[in-house]
Amino acid sequence: MIDKSLLGNKLRRLRDIKGVSREAIAQVLNVDVSTYGRYETGHNLPPPDHLKTLAEFHEISLDALVSPDPIVFTIHHANGTQVANGAHARFVQHVVSEEFVKDMLDRIEQHMKRQEHLNG
C-alpha cells in the first residue's frame, strides 16, 4: 500500500531538486495544477500512469518513487563564485536508487582491498 503523505513529500522534494514548478509537472502529466498539487499534499494518490510518468520525469525507478524509504545523498555543488576563503557551495539533496548505493559500496570495498594489497 502506497502512503499518500510520504509520496507527496517525496514528489515535492524531487520537484525542488529538479528546480521546476508545480505548473511544469502538471503540464507533463496533462492535468490541472490543482490536481498535481493534491498529489504533493498527499490528498490524492496519482493513478498508475501518472506514477510511471513522474518516475520517468525524475529519472528514478517506479519502485524508488513509491517506496516508503528513499535513499538520499547530500551532494555539495560548487557554484564557481569565489569568496574570501574559498568558494560558495550549494547544498542539494538527491534521491538515488538502492542499486546505485550498492554499486558505490562495492566499488569502495574493491578500492579498500586494492589499497590493503598495495600496503602489504
Q: What is the pLDDT of residues 5-51, one digit of tens each?
A: 889 988 998 888 788 999 999 999 999 999 999 999 999 999 999 99
Residues 8, 54: one domain? yes
Residues 81, 103: one domain? yes
* 47: its cell numbers: 493513478
Quote the domain boundaries for residue 107. 72-119
Given this model, what pLDDT does residue 51 score? 95
* 82: its cell numbers: 569565489
* 14: its cell numbers: 524531487
Residues 59, 88: one domain? no
| pLDDT(101) > 80 | no
Residues 55, 78: one domain? no
Give the residue from 25, 48, 68 where a domain finishes.
Answer: 68
Confidence (pTM): 0.59
Residues 11, 58: one domain? yes
Q: What is the pLDDT of residues 33-43, one digit of tens each?
A: 999 999 999 99
Q: How far, in Å, are 20, 61, 77, 103 from residue 100 at the CA level?
A: 24, 11, 19, 5
> Helical H runs in the chain?
4-18, 22-29, 33-40, 48-57, 62-66, 98-119
The CATH number assigned to the domain holding 29 equals 1.10.260.40
